[in-house]
Amino acid sequence: MFYLQFQNRQFSTLEDFQNIAEDYPDFLLEALQFCRDWQSGEAVFQQKTSGSTGAPKVLSIHRNQMQASARATGEFFKVNPRNLLLCCLNPAFIAGKMMLVRAMEWKAPILLQAPQADPLKDLNSDQIPDFIAMVPLQVQESLKNPKSRALLQKVSHLIIGGAASNPQLREDILKYNLKAYQTYGMTETVSHIALAKITEQELIYYTLPGVEIGLDERETLWVKGPMSLGNRIQTNDQVKLISDRSFIWLGRVDFVINSGGIKLHPELLEQRMEKSIHTHFPSSRFFLAGIPDPKFGEKMVLVLETEMIEIKKAKLLQEELKLLFQPYELPKDILTVNKFQETPSGKVDRIRSLPL
């Protein structure tokens, strides 16, 4: 049976969701208002996008899109009304809303926790959720806390989205035997349309039931399914199709570097280089980018967020990378920026951050 629980208070009926106290925290107010609108039969919801398929914008999301997404996820994981869900994402955003929709559509109970770095630390040890959605930072911080880690190890289905899980986090997920999946999706498809189980192998994303995928002339992914109202959504993500329902994600087409005819996918290389870079520059954010070059057309450079680069450390990093990567995969230069520019959603704006 569906109910929403926050601390010691349970909400289940429309009347419960209408009974709102002024001292409730913002995330609880968002959750209660959304559940109230849903149970009142609201057909359309307004939601701002994160910019995955273009500039951020406000979308009208239909109820049946959200229902289709919840049904497909439920079918993928074979969930049932006895499962306990946990919402620890902000209900103001689509990922948090979809956790509430899943609970209501699956007729399952859901716990609501503050959207904080370690959302499991305040749970009772006997409250073991079966299904949780988290961002990578939350998983990372939860694994540092022995109590939270023990709870997370008992979770049947953990889905991770919002950003890619870095190599170190994936190592930790395997080390602690978490049953975790990386998601692929966007606001336009009301949450994920594909999931990749985190194993020692390269991530292969499998689409949810009812989802069609294909490539355009740029070899970028398009998706179509009931959660997109049957419309084809064109992405800017380059992928390698494995089958008509599975793919490997390569990176955004607008970040691809063409150096001397060789196409380099910086986001994949960044994942492989992260451990080495953070060994020498542990507190620095970074990214790989292409800049004009008279010989190669473009050359790949490493851009570090740091006030001052130490030449000795930079040389040691370059020597280490030479042992691990092919010559064409190596950054030709290391550039520095005091502070990266960011997008409205808080991600690094690579183009504006280039020191050119």
Q: For the structural domain made of 4-210, what CATH number should be given?
A: 3.40.50.12780
The architecture (CATH level 2) of 256-353 comes to: 2-Layer Sandwich (3.30)
pLDDT at position 187, please? 83
pLDDT tens for residues 252-299? Answer: 998 999 998 898 999 999 999 999 999 999 989 999 999 998 888 999
Q: Residues 64-88: what's their mean pLDDT? A: 96
Select the more confidently predicted residue: 295 or 197.
197
Q: What is the mean pLDDT of the chain?
A: 92
Per-residue H/E/C for the chain: CCCEEECCEEECCHHHHHCCCCCCCHHHHHHHHHHHHHHCCCCEEEEECCCCCCCCCEEEEEHHHHHHHHHHHHHHHCCCCCCCEEECCCCCCHHHHHHHHHHHHHCCCEEECCCCCCCCCCCCCCCCCCEEEECHHHHHHHHHCHHHHHHHHCCCEEEECCCCCCHHHHHHHHHCCCCEEEEEEEHHHCEEEEEEECCCCCCCEEECCCCEEEECCCCEEEEECHHHCCCEEEEEEEEEEEECCEEEEEEEHHHCEEECCEEECHHHHHHHHHHHHHHHCCCCCEEEEEEEECCCEEEEEEEEECCCCCHHHHHHHHHHHHHHCCHHHCCCEEEEECCCCECCCCCECHHHHCCC
pLDDT at position 50, please? 59
pLDDT at position 56, please? 63
pLDDT at position 23, please? 87
The domain ranges of the chain are: 4-210, 256-353
pLDDT at position 54, please? 52
pLDDT tens for residues 310-355? Answer: 888 999 999 999 999 999 999 999 999 999 998 776 788 998 999 8
pLDDT at position 49, please? 66
**pLDDT > 80? residue 1:** yes
Q: Residues 215-233: what's their mean pLDDT? A: 94
pLDDT tens for residues 120-177? Answer: 998 988 889 999 999 999 999 999 999 999 999 999 999 999 888 888 899 999 999 9
**Considering the entire predicted model, what is its pTM?**
0.86
pLDDT tens for residues 24-73? Answer: 999 999 999 999 999 999 999 988 765 544 556 788 999 999 999 999 99
**pLDDT > 80? residue 204:** yes
Share of the chain above pLDDT 90, in %: 79
